Amino acid sequence: WGPTGHRAVGEIAQSYLSPEVKLIIEDILDGQSLALVSTFADEIKSDERYKAFSPWHYVNFPFDSTYEKSPKSEKGDIIVAIKKCVEVLKSKEASKDDKAFYLKMLVHFMGDLHQPLHVGLAEDRGGNTFQVQWFDEGVNLHWVWDEKIIEKFGMTYTELAQNTNKLSQEELDAIQKGNVEDWMYESRTLCLDVYDYTKVGDKLSYEYMYRYAHVVRNQLQKGGIRLGNLLNTIFS
Ligand code: ADE
Ligand code: ZN
Ligand code: ZN
């Protein structure tokens, strides 16, 4: 996602924190909100010193295979990344600086995990080399999913963060169930639908936006709720 998507995930997660976990996190982040720190992992991408973290934003494997059966990248992937973040945040030895760093990374990666093309294909780099037309503009499919649908729909992060309180307890329970791998496969299923529905060179416009705007919103809400819940578990 771009900044709007990531901030929505952070904002939603923040509203699901228990009062005591909220205080612990405020201390680690020196009062910064989860929405504010959600884009940190993208901001450091151009810095040589943080190069090793670039492959942590996604995972790719062939459509006819599974994560478990595919050769793992030795540089890590989004699943390895999230587990590392959780490990550091749970650790008694980690410094406050380390906890702040991995907490900011976790907020971001939980967002990326819910972007269907971040659980994608290596050959087109998660849609980064998949060219399409978005209204009158030539863009790649990854960009459409990170930013363009949200932008065209005119959704701000605070708007996107509203309405999760309309979910019933059953719906919330269903969302909170499962683990990182389950959530990854949920994104993967959506990714398969995107590749069924989108061909290279397609001219995408309103029809595409309306087909997928609710998927984007749902994924951001699930990401936020699950992140909030995960943080409550880590720090309780
Ligand atoms: N770079 C390579 N594959 C990618 C993916 N699936 N998402 C984002 N960036 C990538
Ligand atoms: Zn992306
Ligand atoms: Zn990212």
Which residues in 176-205 are b (16+ Cβ under 10 Å) and which e? beeebeebbebbbebbeebbeebeeebebe
Residues 203 and 136: their CA atoms lie apart, in Å, by 8
List, for residues 13-54, the tens digit of each pLDDT value.
999 999 999 999 999 999 999 999 999 999 999 999 999 999
Q: Which ligand is nearest to the CA of 126?
A: 1
What is the DSSP code string of 162-200? TTGGGS-HHHHHHHH-S-HHHHHHHHHHHHHHHHHH--T
pLDDT of residue 161: 96
Pocket of ligand 1 (CB under 6 A): 57-58, 60, 117-118, 120, 125-126, 128
The token pair at 58 is 């996604």
Tokens 């020196």 -> residue: 30
* pTM for the whole structure: 0.98
pLDDT of residue 221: 97
Distances (CA, A) of 26 to 15, 20, 32, 96: 13, 10, 7, 12
Q: What does the DSSP 8-state code read for residue 235?
A: H
Q: Which domains does the chain have, with CATH numbers?
A: 3-235 (1.10.575.10)
Q: How many Å lie between the centroid of ligand 1 and the Cα of residue 36?
A: 23
Q: Which of 6, 45, 118, 140 to mutate to test the pocket of ligand 1 (most atoms within 8 A of CB)?
A: 118
3-state SS, residue 40 = helix
Which residues is 203 bridged to in the sheet?
133
Residue whose Cα lies nearest atom 2 of ligand 1: it is 125
pLDDT of residue 166: 85
3-state SS, residue 102 = helix
Q: Which residues of the chain have pLDDT under 70?
A: none
pLDDT of residue 187: 99
Distances (CA, A) of 220 to 1, 5, 96: 9, 7, 28
Tokens 């995107």 -> residue: 194
pLDDT of residue 69: 98
pLDDT of residue 205: 98
Residue whose Cα lies nearest atom 5 of ligand 1: it is 126
